[in-house]
Structure 1
Amino acid sequence: MIVRMLAAGALLTSMTLSASAQQADLAAAKKEGKVVWYTSTPVETANKIAKLFEAETGIRVELFRSGGSAILRRFLQEQQAGRIAVDVLTTSDPAASAALARKGTFVPFKPAHFDKVPEAGKDANGAHVAQRLNLITIFARSDKVPEADMPKSWADLTDPKYKGKLVMTDPSFTALGLMVVATLSKDFGWDYYEKLRKNDIMVVQGNQQVSDMLKRGERLIAAGALDSYAADDRKAGHPIKTIYPADGVFIIPAPTAIVKGSPNPNAAKLFAEFMLTDAAQKLFPEDGGYAARIDIDPPADAAALGTLKAIPVDYDAVEKDTARVKRRFNEIFQ
């Protein structure tokens, strides 16, 4: 069942949608009255986006929020059953979004500020465009792991001194985890994950669970997780240090797309337009993440993406190898 999730306690500011969106979509969107959004956006930020859009337009947002792989699985199951229930799909899986776009699953649409999103973060024809950029790093409890003992690279995580201290996300649940596992297993070989298994790494569902493990002290090092959770935890007073591995970080766009044949097509376009407005984009750095637009500043006290070494991800290869990667990972960690 789709649940409507609302942010609480946020002071709303006045926002203006682009004139083209208002003229083309607003009246028809208001008649539809709602937009259904499936998303892997961190839950607090997703709630804020929904709340702001509702306040600005009077159009209700029905939000289903889960991990990127879970979002896609739900959408594909509904699609195969001949039922399109969602209007706007935001995942953390550029590979799957590109594959679905090639099949004609999405409505091409170039909202205002489309030109301010990097080329690598969008389809040239507008079939999908990044909502945010996901930075995947290593982070650790700085009060329990001395600076000198912190891992400096992805390869360091196999060191026996980290046995029983590591936690990571499940690539069958979160698409970001899938990107990391597919890439590192190719770069280092599956022996890398065999070694992590021997190091008693804990596998949890998603990034929130990784954060919870560190805050409770049950695990001390996040072995590849969404850095905005580390930023949020620091803001809340937890001693969490981000480590930018010497061999690179992952910078993965989160594509937003309008689903063809959706029940509320006009509201879908209006909501996709809203996703790239100043008001929505500035929520990401406020919550410790990175906006999709290059003209929006990075989070406070965080590295600018251009200063970091990025590990290249072959999204076409990930899309082709998804089933095999998940199967091999599960064989190792079953």
Structure 2
Amino acid sequence: MNTGGKARLLLAGLAVVLAATGCGASPTATGNKAGGGEPSAAEKFYTENGKLTGKQRRDKLVELAKKEGHLSLYTSMTSDIADIVTKAFTDQFGIDVDLYRAGSETVLQRVLQEQAAGFAGNDVVETNANELFALNSEGMLATYAGERRDLVPKAGQFNGWTATRFNLFAPSWNTNLVPKGQQPKSWEDLADPKWNGKLSMELGDYDWYLTLYGYWKQQGKSDAEIDKLFADMADGAKIVKGHTVQGELLSAGQFSVVASNYSYIVGRAKAKGAPVEYLPFTQPVIARPNGIGLMKSAKNPAAAMLFTDWLLEEGQKLLAEDGLTPAIVEGDDPLKGVEIVPIDVKAMVDNGDKWQKKYDKVVAGGEQVSK
């Protein structure tokens, strides 16, 4: 989901929109469409019903959503999670979901291109933080209010969208190759020469890189010290494109340690018997929010709002059951006592090209490998 060149891809996507409109305004800035002028019909619906709470809210949204009959969802969830989520929603409410699933960059491109053409293709979008930030910057996402959003940590509440889950970046290791107690215990440990040729880094993890860089700066490290730490990590590292592939290669023993895979990928592999581990967490844990946004141009606003409420309630349990980290934790918190550092989404979008280029130089010191 998080691949190289993402910042440049975002900028290219936005350029497509601006070129299509012939000016700097949002592509659908007139009438009842998204982006400016008078509120759209969907925005008016969200404002009116966002004030409702509890059973009254759920009952009204269910009634109106059933009249609409279906929901159009664009998402970058993995296919297995997307199927589980949409099936559960349909089974509970009898509302069919028109699902488009692709990588986050492709989801962004599709929405941008459809909006530029004045076509309202989706009612709701669930994807990565950078893409949601870009869509909201273009004025395509509507304000969502409600009790469930209020339960999401402040680090997951953004203008135009709300976190549904967090991807946790964590070092992981092959337990057949790394004896118990010998695993990395700090991010700095990844720069130890003992991991030369045994460590893997992901090709597009510039969001992890910029966040860890910033954290180390706050801890008093100099730029030179930080640059050396990353250079030492990359010295002899195996550079892999894609966290899923990286997890598979770790399970197969192609390398001993991965610098920054998602904890849920490693956890799933472990549950299936792979000799991999990521616990105890190396702290601080770097968390990237993935979230949901309501489209201003939605043709089915009741279904969109109902799905958003549901994904932040019943859907949270489904995500947790499949090993993901839900945005709302009710009951025992598995991350209690763990220091969490959220990615600075605004910095990632505003200066992403700069950080991508810096990270490209870092991983150029390693050896690119594939499955």
Counterpart for residue 172 of structure 2: 139
Matched, 1:61 2:97: yes
Determine whether 1:284 maps to 2:319: yes
The reply to whether residue 92 of structure 1 matches residue 128 of structure 2 is yes
TM-score (normalizing by structure 2) = 0.72
Distance 1:21 1:226 in 2: 35
Q: 1:323 is matched by which residue type in structure 2?
A: D
- The correspondence for 2:250, drawn from 190, 200, 214, is 214
Shift of the 323–62 alpha-carbon distance from structure 1 to 2, 3 Å rule, reads farther
**CA 1:212/1:263 → structure 2, altered by over 3 Å: closer, same or farther?**
farther
2:288 to 231, 248, 252: 252
| 1:198 corresponds to 2:235 | yes
Shift of 1:62: 2.9
Per-residue CA deviations over 1:94-122 (Å, capped at 9, x if unaligned) read: x5534543543212122442222122211
Distance 2:70 2:331 in 1: 28
Larger radius of gyration: 2
Q: In 2, Cα distance between the equivalents of 1:28 and 1:274?
A: 15
State the partner residue of 1:109: 144
Q: Distance in 1 between the 2:272 and 2:73 partners?
A: 28
Closer/same/farther in 2, CA of residues 119 and 200 from structure 1, 3 Å limit: closer
The amino acid across from 1:213 in the alignment is L
Distance 1:274 1:226 in 2: 25
Residue 76 (str. 1) matches residue 112 (str. 2): yes
Between 69-78 and 54-63, report the one with greater CA deviation. Answer: 69-78
Q: CA separation in 1, counterparts of 2:340 and 2:143?
A: 29
Match of 2:307 in 1: 271
Which consecutive residues of structure 1, in runs of 5 or more, have no partner in the other structure?
1-16, 172-176, 299-303
Equivalent position amino acid for 2:236 in 1:
N
The 2-side partners of 1:308 and 1:199 are apart by 31
Question: Aligned equivalents of 1:158 and 1:24: distance in 2?
Answer: 56
Asked if the contact 1:111/1:276 (under 8 Å) is kept, the reply is no
Query: 1:75, 1:154 → 2: CA distance?
Result: 37
CA contact (8 A) 2:104 2:131 kept: no
- Would the alpha carbon gap of residues 116 and 328 (structure 1) be closer, same or farther in structure 2, given more than 3 Å must change? same
Aligned positions, number: 303
TM-score normalised by length of structure 1: 0.79
Look up the SS of the partner of 2:128 in the other structure: coil
Q: 1:290: how far off?
A: 2.1
Name the stretch that deviates more: 108-117 or 24-33.
Answer: 24-33
Distance 2:174 2:241 in 1: 18
Contact 2:89 2:95 in 1 (8 A): yes
1:154 and 1:324 map into 2 onto residues whose CA distance is 22
Q: How far has the Cα of 1:258 moved from its partner? A: 0.8
Aligned to 1:326: 356
Q: Percent identity?
A: 28
Tell me by how many angstroms 1:320 deviates.
Answer: 0.9
Pairing 1:310–2:340 present: yes
Once the two structures are overlaid, the 10-residue window that deviates more, 316-325 or 160-169, is 160-169
The root-mean-square deviation of aligned C-alpha atoms, in Å, is 2.8
Distance 1:225 1:267, change over 3 A: same
Structure 2 residue runs without a partner (length 5+): 1-52, 217-222, 365-371
| 1-structure distance, mates of 2:197, 2:119 | 44
Partner of 2:210: 182
- Residues 144-202 of structure 1: CA distance to partner in whole angstroms, max 9, x if unpaired? 2112432122222222322333333343xxxxx34202223444645544333322232
Higher mean C-alpha deviation, range 285-294 or range 70-79: 70-79
Distance 1:78 1:167 in 2: 38
Give how far 1:256 is off.
Answer: 0.9
Q: 1:31 to 1:317 in 2, by over 3 A?
A: same
SS of the residue 2:85 aligns to: helix
Residues 237 and 20 of structure 1: CA distance in aligned 2, closer, same or farther (over 3 Å): same
2:352 aligns to what SS in structure 1? helix
